[in-house]
Amino acid sequence: MAPWADVLYACDEAWWKKYSGVPDFSGLKISHDGYRSPQEWNLRRIKIIRNDDRMHLSSFGVVGWGGNGGFHSLNLAAQFGAKRIVLVGFDMRLDMGLHWHGKHVSGLQNPTVTNVNRWRRCLDLAAPVLADAGVEVINASMQSALSAFPKMRLEEAIDGFA
């Protein structure tokens, strides 16, 4: 969806398999160390601390679990040195649908209420850690159930980036 991006992160092995390692993406492709992928996918690996739902900012390539790839991506962006991060698609609720793209099929899992509640808690608890590190996080998902990050329309949030 963003072929111009510098980095593509996905934590689900089934996702990488479904999209065959995203061969047309020329940026850095990252996943975690929990499974083996074909060498031709050129995935770089990070380490996830599975029993720890906190942001980890001091050890590059080591992230907290948080239960989802959005949490990992946010952790990685901060480690890469981002000082302003705009969250897109972080609704963290199920009452308006499972995903912006509809229900996953073909072996990909869909979130449960328990998943979403955990994700929301972990992300909200990460807000002060990121703020203390000088990372500004803006939530551009206007219907998001996250409460710890200021909300702003996407157009406003990215104004001045280019």
Q: Which of 113, 115, 69, 62 is nearest to 89 (CA)?
A: 69
Q: What pLDDT is recorded for position 100?
A: 65
Percent of the chain with pLDDT over 90: 71
Q: What pLDDT is recorded for position 39?
A: 85
Q: What pLDDT is recorded for position 137?
A: 98
Q: What is the average per-residue pLDDT within 140-160? A: 93
Residues 130, 137 contacting (CB under 8 angstroms): yes
Q: What is the average per-residue pLDDT within 110-123? A: 93
| pLDDT at residue 162 tops 70 | no
**pLDDT tens digits for 5-59?**
999 999 888 889 889 999 999 999 999 877 777 888 999 999 999 999 999 999 9
**pLDDT tens digits for 65-76?**
999 999 999 999
Q: What pLDDT is recorded for position 148?
A: 98
Q: What is the average per-residue pLDDT within 114-124? A: 95
Q: What pLDDT is recorded for position 85?
A: 97
Residues 130, 54 contacting (CB under 8 angstroms): no
Q: What CA–CA distance (Å, rounded) separates 22 from 24?
A: 6
Q: What pLDDT is recorded for position 141?
A: 93
Q: What CA–CA distance (Å, rounded) separates 80 from 5?
A: 14
| pLDDT at residue 107 tops 80 | no
